[in-house]
Amino acid sequence: MTAELVRGQNHPLSRHQVEIGVVAGAPVLALVSAGDDEGRLPGPEALAHPGARTLPGLRVPGSAADRHRFPVDLDAVGAAVHRVRLVLALPPGGPARFGAVPAPHVVVAGPDGVEVAAYAITGLDSETAVVALELYRRQDAWKVRAVGQGYADGLGALLADAGLAGPTAGALATAALGEDFSLAAAVTTPAPTAPHGLPGPSRSGEARAGGTRAGGTRGDEAPAAPGPTAIDYAHPRRRRTTTEPPEPAPGPEAPQEPGTPPRPVAGDASGWSMEERLYNQVWGMFEDLARTVAAYRSAVDFADSRLDRELDEALSDPRARLGGAGNAARDAARARRDELVARAQAVLDRDLAQLRAESDVVEPALPAAYARWDNPVWHGAGVPQESPLALRLGDLSLPEAPGLRVPMLMRLPLERGLWIDNGRTGSEAAMTMDTDRLRRLAMDTAVAHAVRLLAVHPAGRFSVDVIDAAGAGVAALAPLVRAGVLAAPPAAGAEGVTATLERLTRRVDLVQMAVRAGAPEELPPDVDPADQLLIVHDFPHGFDDRAVTRLRYLADEGPAVGVHLLMVADRDEASAYGPLLDPLWRSLMRLSPVPDHHLADPWVHHAWTFEPDLPPQRSEVLDRALERIAEARRGARP
């Protein structure tokens, strides 16, 4: 499993022969330095760059590119080398700063290509060179550390901070960047005076005239709070495909047409359409929030663990027990802990402020498929001519960012069915709610999802069936019944359950046979060619063993041929079937009708609070959407 690192975090390396991969949104140069235990370079010969690509155990790419992959043999680097650092630099003629391009993403993988550790370098702004990560040796064991230390004054400042003299660092930077400049002649020429700015401290604590650096860490310190910088909201893990259009050359933006939605912040997210760009951007916001909170939590954990260690040391020293020395040591340790936490909080507050500013601009620009029910886009939205890319299921948030909600988007077509849990176990919020109210809220959530699905697809593209064996969902289903958008009246009783499942199972079988025969459109006239959504309310009421088997078949085989499942059920009530239904529950995505923290992200595995998106109280937005759906269907009939 890949370790997704945050700034300052390390991870052990079990292999000494590894590959480093770089994915960036613009051409970058990949350089590698071989330093001593403090990371200091003995001279220009300790940097591998396109002009001098090889060092013992190291060989870097020969030109700038938006993707790099090259091997590192840690057994061959030499006994004097303790830190191997990956440096990324923007070449002349490219973007002027890292803040103008998507965040670079670096990985360390084994020779077999299996990724060991990965790091997305977010939080860069004016920097043109950055120490991405380092491989460092401790007692013959190697580890990888995410560094993310950027330099606004460029590669020369980075090399000067690594111990090279100013003229030598400037000349080596010029040669490494590929400019038409002789290294031998430049070493004897005084380097130009650096622009005025705050010099970054070196590892020895001296102030070097090399320029400001941002986002760096030293030794075992927690990440320092850099000055205000813009976060890159692009999705670092997004892979570009050969079918994706090339990025346009940078140039002046075209004027915005009056009355159009505001352009999203960081609108350089790639995609064929604005809808795809917004989808990628929302995912970038989701990942940025996950990582910035992970960095904050990591910093607080580090501060707490260091406090515990220092308190233990103070208590274990007999001399500290005499007089006030012990109290002074404990007070100093707590003060250091509070300072580290305050610095981490400052970084978190800065990142959250920028994410909130982005959300304020992105939310109004979202299309209906991505928008909340209270978004004005629903008041004028007509039935579209094309199917959407994704569907909004609700909002996600973290406790460190109250009020900041990121849309939870699910790609279409639905590869997994949805399960809206109307049970009271497993959710603190559900346990405090009346059972009848919870069940009604769960069914209202299912109806809202069904209406959204119908409203954002072309007329007739989706058909909805409902199984309500006990008739307990009549009130919630009333808007769908009144609008006449259901394929058939809600199925009630055991006979209705059997008939609906038989019809949909037959459709799955016929479509599968047609696909295998190479004629997917050749279906009997009584088979609805539209995609199907089956809403099952109060499962397992009305289901016998045969019906349960058919439902499992639809859940497994249906999505591939356009039959999708939305269940409203309490898992405890199905416990009579024992482990028979466990595969069914695992195949569905569980959603809660009340705020609940049961979802985890794929990067740092936070427990996110999911909040369903429901129409506002006493709003007619759902009825208006159903009227447009019904009208469009009438107009589409021959």
Q: Which two tokens mark 119?
A: 């790091």
- Report the predicted TM-score, pTM, of the whole model to 2 decimal places: 0.61
Q: Which has the closest alpha carbon to 406: 488, 291, 309, 286?
A: 286
Q: Mean of the pLDDT values across residues 448-452?
A: 96
Place of tokens 């006030």: 324
Yes or no: say if 419 and 572 are a contact pair by the CB < 8 Å rule: no
Q: How far apart are the first and last CA of the chain?
A: 54
Q: Mean of the pLDDT values across residues 295-309?
A: 88
Q: Which two tokens mark 98?
A: 């890292």
pLDDT value for 180:
33
User: Is pLDDT above 90 for 209?
Assistant: no
Q: Mean of the pLDDT values across residues 586-602?
A: 89
pLDDT value for 111:
84
Name beta bridge partners: 142: 137
User: Is pLDDT above 50 for 261?
Assistant: no
The secondary element (H helix, E strand) that includes residue 326 is: helix 325-365
User: Is pLDDT above 90 for 563?
Assistant: yes
pLDDT value for 238:
35
Q: Mean of the pLDDT values across residues 504-528?
A: 86
Confidence of residue 184 (pLDDT cuts 50, 70, 90): very low
Query: Which of the residue ranges 231-245, 409-423, 521-535, 543-557 would you say has the lowest mean pLDDT?
Result: 231-245
- Averaged pLDDT of the chain: 81
pLDDT value for 384:
85
Q: Which two tokens mark 344?
A: 């981490």
CA torsion sign for 517, 520, 525, 529 is positive
Residue 207 to residue 194: CA distance in whole angstroms: 14
Which range has the top average pLDDT, 133-147, 517-531, 532-546, 622-636? 532-546
Q: Which two tokens mark 71?
A: 């091997």
Q: Helix, strand, coil % (nearest 5) of the chain?
A: 35, 20, 40
3-state secondary structure of 244: coil
Place of tokens 């088997």: 549
Confidence of residue 352 (pLDDT cuts 50, 70, 90): very high
Q: Which has the closest alpha carbon to 387: 413, 426, 417, 366?
A: 413
Confidence of residue 320 (pLDDT cuts 50, 70, 90): low
Q: Which two tokens mark 281?
A: 């951007």
Question: 461-470, pLDDT tens digit by residue?
Answer: 899 999 999 9
Q: Mean of the pLDDT values across residues 613-617?
A: 91
3-state secondary structure of 417: coil
Place of tokens 């299921």: 393
pLDDT value for 623:
92
Q: Which has the closest alpha carbon to 56: 20, 21, 30, 80?
A: 80
Q: What are phi and psi of 412, to 5 degrees?
A: -110, 150
pLDDT value for 433:
86
Residue 351 to residue 345: CA distance in whole angstroms: 10
Residue 501 to residues 178, 424, 505, 508, 546, Cα–Cα distance (Å): 68, 28, 6, 11, 10
pLDDT value for 385:
84
pLDDT value for 611:
94
Residue 172 to residue 158: CA distance in whole angstroms: 11
Confidence of residue 270 (pLDDT cuts 50, 70, 90): low
CB atoms within 10 A of CB 530: 16
Q: Mean of the pLDDT values across residues 332-341?
A: 90
User: Is pLDDT above 80 for 631?
Assistant: yes
User: Is pLDDT above 80 for 247?
Assistant: no
